[in-house]
Structure 1
Amino acid sequence: MQRTTLPAAIFLAGFSIGANAADANGHGFIEDSQTTISNRTMYYSNDNHDGGADQRETATALKFGFVSGFTQGTVGFGLDVASLVAIHLDGGKGHHPDANTFFPSDTDGSAVHSWSRAGANVKARFSKTELAVGNIFTPNLPILVATDSRLVIQNFGGGIITSKEIDSLTITAGKIDQSSGRATSNPTGLSVAGGTKDSNDFRFAGADWKVTKDLLLQYYFARLENYYTQSYLGLVHVFPLGNEQSFKTDLRYFDSNSDGKNGDVGYRFNNNGGFAKTPGEVDNKTWSAMFTYSLGGHAFLLGHESVSDDGGFVWLNQGNVVDSRNRPEGNGGTAFYLFTDAIVGNFSRAGEQTNFGQYSYDFSKLGVPGLKTSISYLRGDDIKDVAGGSDHKEWERDMRVDYVFQDGPLKGFGTTVRHGTYRGDSPVVPDQDQTRIIFNYSYSL
């Protein structure tokens, strides 16, 4: 695993540019900038009930972030910078798997003591359109989601343009060519689960149309060269019921198909360990419907997700991309835009029909601001295995508690406890209990 030092020079360069671009009217590179220093400490425990090795590790990460404003003029320019260093605190003897799933491994298979990475985005703004090019993107789009489920958030590199020239309409397009995952300082190309060859060409475009203040329509199209194309349609509607009540409808539909070399050796999709009509190829339609009733601090969510019979749901996943020694690069860990992306499982195999529900409560309604809890349950049935059988099933129960201090010397300090219990009858995902305890603190300079 490559080790780097914290590049302080890039901070100084950013501040130097900003000092020269300041604006006397209070709007400019420095005047509209934000500088933060944040820390995340995380305990991660994974108890494997099917005979595999258990994992228990603790690590901390310190991150510096600088987000500039824009220089004055017809075209404004800016610079965003991010740099982090992560330190392994404890793994417990024998409890660090040599798979780079939480923290990078050294040559002997043990966790490295520390690792770091840094990057920047250069950006420009004209009217209500912004273009950014760099390697610290953390998108949350229907076709591209940066995961933040471990110690550090996933970063993507490339270019993204966002336009809001038309009122109530946001148009987003871009090209992504690399990813830096949760346990690596080395960026890699892009892939899917099962793919060992990477692609440096993920292109996408889409629109978010705020039809009314309560209704949002979405359409996105994406293509990962030599792997898949994907279309997305979405609808979000909030119906106010008055007296701190509302009913939210969230509908999502994905249509994914094979592209280029998909199916060839190195470009095969493992269909999340399930059935594929054409082995190695992407062929999927997935829809999901979620309904949430909110009353004061209470929120009740019920939903259903349906994965088509021909193959599993697909999304970016670089976990099988290996280095020159044929070992994982540490770029695993991904997320996708469906509720079934749970703590342990993802409920995304061919034919799977998942019912899910969640109850959450915001304790600010009881005079305890900053405290929130939730519990959710997912059950998937009719999963088709590799041979085409469809009698497999799985379930997961997740619990979460969050608290953020609202004032006093610890203002802004937050704690999150997450626990997931997963059980299933397929060897693809072993029965597991996962616990994550996270401490977050961010200070704005």
Structure 2
Amino acid sequence: MFDYRIGVLALGLCAVTPVMASEQAESKGFVEDSHLNLLLRNAYINRDYKHGAEDRAEWGQGVIANFASGFTQGTVGVGLDAFGLYGLRLDGGRGRSGAGGIDFFKQDSSGNAADDLARAGGAIKFRVSNTVLKYGEMMPALPVLNYDDSRLLPESYTGYLLTSRELDGLELNAGHFTAQTRKSAEGRDSGGLKQLDVFGGSYRFNDQFSASLYASDVKDELRKQYLGMTFVQPFDRDRSLTLDFNGYRSRLDSAFADRLGTGQDNTIWSLAATYAFGAHSLTLAHQRSTGDTGYNYGGYANNGGVGDGGNTIFLANSYWSDFNAEDERSWQLAYGLDFGPYGIPGLSYKIAYVRGDNIRTNDGEGVEREWFNQLQYVVQEGAAKDLKVRLRNSILRTSTNVRESGYNDDGNEVRLFVEYPINIF
């Protein structure tokens, strides 16, 4: 099991890794090191389904405020992190909202989406040397618990999280969470999570190679382990090769598997090779899922999901489709372009094609394919500096047996996000 290997790895590294200087000893104070940031996000997602399902679209204006205090001085530093969120619905009323993959505003029992939503949360934090303990509501970003911030407003979790960086290059994390707040609702326990425990760490061996090992246990849902490795080989100033491996092994609780109508075991991994040369990049990736169920992640426990974060899929072939069905094998070819050297700094473009086959269905092997395009521009200077506009499109097509199995359906998706960050202090 990966979680036992984490402990062995950590013990070995402690013996050979230099100790870092104490961040707490350098604390300037609760107020002096405080920061307040504001993010204005206008988000629109439209899904045009091709086989009878109702098209879905939602549009909203979000305001995301994040406050992070410094730590009081002394051996034990005390601080506070807090956030405030507000979302205003601009479109996506009854009949257009409600798609699980969009989920800007939760529907009521009559199918009406909320006109707006607001919530706030915070966590108290304690620091000794380079180790921080947080308790309260927060947004964890770990390979086995990664909160979803890819829609209008982010989701969050309530519990505690211990993060230690006592040794140079080594980060260890341990957490216990008892509530999940969905991104489209105001209730703190709106996700129905019972209990989620995480443990793991990452280590940067040198400037070229880093690795991560993590494990999680979602009560009454599943256990999961993760292994990630990244290697970067520079050739000169403008050329490099990056190899990125990510893998998960999951075992569903029997009752949860019965509710889903699947088996209990899944192993999924991806390996991506990216060659960057000047303003260009080429990526070739392979992803493979094995076992008697697909890779399960995200969603909400009270809605048939796992509850371990909507971005808990550190895999190469994840766009609109995640290419994570039972026994699925997929290949990706992608190209990226930075327009900076061509006189338009801040503008970038990416195109990718992914094809998956060997999908297990009740009617033979299924296939799916997706074209992905994304154009992004970040303003480089002036009053609108750091304003980001991101336009993406996906075209997803599946075989008939895949559609009938309920795994994926044909459709065209458009996303338009406009974000403006403001650093208040």
Q: Rate the CA distance shift 1:136–1:26 in 2: closer, same or farther, 3 A.
A: closer
- 1:62 matched residue in structure 2: 63
- 1:336 matched residue in structure 2: 313
Is 1:417 aligned to residue 391 of structure 2? yes
Cα distance between partner residues in 1 of 2:188 and 2:262: 25
Is 1:289 aligned to residue 291 of structure 2? no
Is 1:400 aligned to residue 374 of structure 2? yes
User: Could you give the per-residue CA deviations for residues 200-241 of structure 1, whole angstroms, max 9, x where no partner exists?
Assistant: 221111121111111002111111122222222221100011
Q: Rate the CA distance shift 1:350–1:166 in 2: closer, same or farther, 3 A.
A: same
Q: Rate the CA distance shift 1:331–1:233 in 2: closer, same or farther, 3 A.
A: closer
After TM superposition, give the deviation of residue 120 of structure 1 in Å: 0.4
User: Could you give the per-residue CA deviations for residues 87-133 of structure 1, whole angstroms, max 9, x where no partner exists?
Assistant: 11123774234868232224532222111111001111100111111
Cα distance between partner residues in 2 of 1:189 and 1:115: 13
Report the TM-score, using the length of structure 2 for normalisation. Answer: 0.86
- 1:305 matched residue in structure 2: 287
- What SS class does the counterpart of residue 254 from structure 2 fall into? coil
User: Could you give the per-residue CA deviations for residues 281-318 of structure 1, whole angstroms, max 9, x where no partner exists?
Assistant: 42011121111111122111111011014221122331
After TM superposition, give the deviation of residue 380 of structure 1 in Å: 0.6
Q: Taking every aligned residue pair, what percent have the same amino acid on both sides?
A: 29
Cα distance between partner residues in 2 of 1:376 and 1:290: 13
- 1:216 matched residue in structure 2: 210
Aligned residues of 1:351 and 1:390 also touching (Cα < 8 A): no
Q: Rate the CA distance shift 1:159–1:128 in 2: closer, same or farther, 3 A.
A: same
Aligned pair partner of 1:263 in 254, 261, 265: 254
Is the deviation greater in 410-419 or in 333-342?
Answer: 333-342
After TM superposition, give the deviation of residue 171 of structure 1 in Å: 0.9
User: Could you give the per-residue CA deviations for residues 151-171 of structure 1, whole angstroms, max 9, x where no partner exists?
Assistant: 112212211111111122111
Cα distance between partner residues in 2 of 1:315 and 1:93: 28
Task: Name stretches of at least 5 consecutive residues in structure 2 with no aligned partner.
Answer: 1-23
Cα distance between partner residues in 2 of 1:331 and 1:172: 16
TM-align CA RMSD? 2.5
Aligned pair partner of 1:254 in 242, 248, 257: 248
Cα distance between partner residues in 2 of 1:407 and 1:216: 34
- What SS class does the counterpart of residue 205 from structure 2 fall into? strand
Matched residue type, 1:404 = V
Q: Rate the CA distance shift 1:199–1:156 in 2: closer, same or farther, 3 A.
A: closer
- What SS class does the counterpart of residue 409 from structure 1 fall into? coil
Is 1:434 aligned to residue 413 of structure 2? yes
Cα distance between partner residues in 2 of 1:331 and 1:234: 18
Cα distance between partner residues in 1 of 2:293 and 2:112: 37
After TM superposition, give the deviation of residue 34 of structure 1 in Å: 1.0
Q: Rate the CA distance shift 1:230–1:98 in 2: closer, same or farther, 3 A.
A: closer
Q: Rate the CA distance shift 1:187–1:341 in 2: closer, same or farther, 3 A.
A: farther
Aligned residues of 2:148 and 2:310 also touching (Cα < 8 A): yes
Cα distance between partner residues in 2 of 1:316 and 1:58: 22
Cα distance between partner residues in 1 of 2:286 and 2:298: 23
After TM superposition, give the deviation of residue 48 of structure 1 in Å: 0.9
User: Could you give the per-residue CA deviations for residues 29-67 of structure 1, whole angstroms, max 9, x where no partner exists?
Assistant: 111111112211112211111111112332101122211
Q: Rate the CA distance shift 1:331–1:162 in 2: closer, same or farther, 3 A.
A: closer
Q: How many residues align?
A: 393
Report the TM-score, using the length of structure 1 for normalisation. Answer: 0.82
Q: Rate the CA distance shift 1:334–1:287 in 2: closer, same or farther, 3 A.
A: closer
Cα distance between partner residues in 2 of 1:370 and 1:282: 45
Cα distance between partner residues in 1 of 2:410 and 2:371: 12
Cα distance between partner residues in 2 of 1:269 and 1:402: 40
Is 1:364 aligned to residue 340 of structure 2? yes
Cα distance between partner residues in 1 of 2:411 and 2:60: 21
Is 1:171 aligned to residue 172 of structure 2? yes
- 2:4 matched residue in structure 1: none
- What SS class does the counterpart of residue 384 from structure 1 fall into? strand
Task: Name stretches of at least 5 consecutive residues in structure 1 with no aligned partner.
Answer: 1-22, 191-197, 271-278, 323-327
Higher relative helix content: 2
- What SS class does the counterpart of residue 340 from structure 2 fall into? helix
Aligned residues of 2:93 and 2:112 also touching (Cα < 8 A): no
- 2:127 matched residue in structure 1: 125
- What SS class does the counterpart of residue 422 from structure 1 fall into? strand
User: Could you give the per-residue CA deviations for residues 409-436 of structure 1, whole angstroms, max 9, x where no partner exists?
Assistant: 2112111101111110112211111111
Cα distance between partner residues in 1 of 2:27 and 2:200: 34
